[in-house]
Amino acid sequence: MNLQKVTVPEISRRKRDGKKISMLTAYDYPFARILDEAGIDVLLVGDTLGMVVQGLDTTLPVTVDEIVYHLKMVARARTRALVVGDLPFLSYQVSIEEALRNAGRMMKEGGAEAVKLEGGVNVAATIAALTAVDIPVMGHVGLTPQSVHRMGGHKVQGKKRGRAPGGRERLLEDAAAVEEAGAFAVVLEGIPLDLAAEITERLSIPTIGIGAGVRCDGQVLVLHDLLGLFDKFAPKFSKRYVNLKEIVGGAVRQYVSEVESGAFPTDAHSFHSPKVVEKPLALGGRPARSAG
Ligand code: KIV
């Protein structure tokens, strides 16, 4: 495994070298450590934490404070992976000043090496302002979960032609705008495979797909989907590599039954008081005590 630190320029180079980029979301120290040691290239502290960690129905309520809190844990575990912080809903749309301040917090307080934000033409000026002060930006176009209410749900985008938001031509323009504004990579979410392939061919920055087919320059999944820890719904594009919910549930059921039956803890899990050894009476004195 290549143990060299993954950097922003390295991610940009991957496209030229034809080496795919692997990215996963991470929200805490123990999992971030496992992912980093397993060789993942990019750890994204995504606003999906609202859904898979906090149990919300959308990502909209997630705050900058919450992302920073989770970033700190993930950044502490990082040795090799690039850590990216997701700018949550309304942390970058109100003004460029707020975008700069919030993205700055992700780096200064959270330890992120880059930030991600959703949108295309509509956020190009914001991306340009962030990159102008050396805050590397990853774009995100297509199915953008922060636009869930405009889209009428988490729906595949780019199936219809046209330049209205979510239309095929509009998504081509969005991806181009993100690149022109200075983003170093772009997530393509929930779009047809052929559209993702066309965007990937047109752009010189890497595309990282989720529900966008195999012809992207990299792939990203939500960790809890991959591990089988989130079962409210299973996105078609996701792949469950293991069913941790079942494994963890089995372990906990066994623990409950062993506590109830008294099979746990055994002697091996217990502490013992030091042995008290009575020594023979010293002449004229009290018995001496020693711990054995
Ligand atoms: O917030 C997130 O986890 C994301 C990924 C799904 C790309 O944006």
Range 70-97 average pLDDT: 98
Q: What is the pLDDT of residues 126-153, one digit of tens each?
A: 999 999 999 999 999 999 999 999 999 9
Judge whether 189 counts as a catalytic residue: yes
Active-site residue, selected from the candidate residues 66, 113, 118, 189: 189
Tell me how far the alpha carbon of residue 39 lies from the centroid of ligand 1, in angstroms: 19
Residue 187 Cα: closest atom of ligand 1: 7
Tell me how far the alpha carbon of residue 48 lies from the centroid of ligand 1, in angstroms: 6
Residue 280 has pLDDT above 70, yes or no: no
- CATH topology assigned to domain 8-239: TIM Barrel (3.20.20)
Residue 291 has pLDDT above 70, yes or no: no
Task: Report the distance separating Cα 218 and Cα 208, nearest Å.
Answer: 4
Residue 276 has pLDDT above 80, yes or no: no
- Range(s) within the chain of domains with CATH label 3.20.20.60: 8-239
Residue 285 has pLDDT above 70, yes or no: no
Ligand 1 binding pocket, CB closer than 6 Å:
25, 44, 46-48, 86, 140, 187, 210, 220, 222
Of 120, 160, 124, the residue nearest 140 (C-alpha): 120
Q: What is the pLDDT of residues 214-272, one digit of tens each?
A: 999 999 999 999 999 988 888 888 999 999 999 999 999 999 999 999 999 999 999 99
Tell me how far the alpha carbon of residue 38 lies from the centroid of ligand 1, in angstroms: 20
